[in-house]
Amino acid sequence: MNEVVYARVDSPVGIVWVASTGAGICRIALGAEQPGSFLSWLSRHLRPVELYEDAELMTVATSQIGEYFSGERQAFDLPLDVYGTAFQRAVWSQVACIPYGATASYGDIAQLVGKPKGSRAVGTAVGANPLPIVIPCHRVIGSGGDLVGFGAGLDVKERLLRLEDAYPL
Q: Provide the annotated active-site residues.
A: 137
- What is the C-alpha separation between 114 and 151, in angstroms, rounded? 25
- What is the C-alpha separation between 40 and 106, in angstroms, rounded? 29
Nearest to 160 by CA among 145, 140, 142: 140
- Report residue 157: phi and psi, to 5°: -60, -45
- What is the C-alpha separation between 13 and 111, in angstroms, rounded? 31
- What is the C-alpha separation between 27 and 85, in angstroms, rounded? 16
Q: 3-state SS of the chain: helix, strand, coil percent to 5?
A: 35, 20, 45
